[in-house]
Structures are given as structure tokens and as C-alpha cells.
């Protein structure tokens, strides 16, 4: 009977040793897994930040383009108004001459 008890104790010790070794292997993997997860989070944050930066640049460029187009249209409008005003006197004279029957 003692031999049977000794075998049971030895078997329990083998199981305990196996459990301990498995726990040690798992514990060794935790820092590696944590590092991998941290790197994945850092990469995702970097990718998200780059995408947001690209969108901000795109929006800024679109706003700059809109501002440029509006400024160009405003400048053209002022030019046409100035051109019309420079010919206004001549046009009035022409109309008056036509009404007076001079031409």
C-alpha cells in the first residue's frame, strides 16, 4: 500500500511539475504578446493619424482652390465692370446720337 501511495505522490508531483512548466511558458509569452498588441495599436493609431492628416490636407486644398476661384471671379467681375464703365460714356453718346438721328 505504501508503494501505491508513493506512486500517487510521484504522479501528483509530475502533474504539478507539468502545470508549473505550462504556466512558466504562458508567462514567458505574455510580454511577447503584450508587445505585439502594443505594436498593433501603435500602427493603427499611426495609420489613422496619417489618414486624418491626408483628409485635412485635402480639405485645406479644396478650400484654397475655392478661395482662389472666388478671388479670380471677383477680379474678373471688377475688370468687366471697369471696362463697362470706361465704355459707358461712349455708349450713352452713341444712343443719344441715334435718337437725335445723327447716325
Q: pLDDT tens, position by position, for the chain (103 residues)? A: 688 888 999 999 999 999 999 988 988 888 888 889 889 989 999 999 999 988 988 888 888 888 888 889 889 888 888 887 887 777 777 777 777 777 6
Kindly state whether residue 48 falls inside one of the protein's structural domains.
yes
Kindly state whether residue 13 falls inside one of the protein's structural domains.
yes
Integer Cα distance of 79 and 35 in angstroms: 65
Structural domain harbouring 11 = 1-74
Kindly state whether residue 33 falls inside one of the protein's structural domains.
yes
pLDDT for res 100: 78
Kindly state whether residue 96 falls inside one of the protein's structural domains.
no
pLDDT for res 19: 92
Q: Which residues contact 94 (CB under 8 A, 6 or more apart)?
A: 103
Integer Cα distance of 12 and 24 in angstroms: 18
Kindly state whether residue 103 falls inside one of the protein's structural domains.
no
Which runs of E-coded beta strand occur in the chain?
Answer: none
Kindly state whether residue 60 falls inside one of the protein's structural domains.
yes
Count the domains in the chain: 1
Contact criterion met (CB below 8 Å) for 97 and 103: yes
Kindly state whether residue 36 falls inside one of the protein's structural domains.
yes
Tell me the C-alpha to C-alpha distance, in Å, between residue 62 and each of 5, 34, 70, 73. Answer: 84, 42, 12, 16
Amino acid at each position: 500500500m505504501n508503494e501505491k501511495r508513493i506512486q500517487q505522490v510521484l504522479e501528483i508531483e509530475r502533474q504539478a511539475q507539468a502545470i508549473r512548466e505550462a504556466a512558466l511558458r504562458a508567462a514567458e509569452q505574455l510580454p511577447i504578446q503584450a508587445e505585439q498588441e502594443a505594436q498593433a495599436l501603435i500602427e493603427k493609431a499611426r495609420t489613422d493619424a496619417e489618414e486624418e492628416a491626408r483628409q485635412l490636407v485635402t480639405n485645406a486644398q479644396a478650400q484654397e482652390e475655392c478661395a482662389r476661384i472666388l478671388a479670380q471671379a471677383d477680379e474678373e467681375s471688377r475688370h468687366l465692370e471697369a471696362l463697362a464703365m470706361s465704355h459707358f460714356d461712349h455708349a450713352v453718346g452713341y444712343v443719344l446720337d441715334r435718337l437725335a438721328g445723327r447716325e
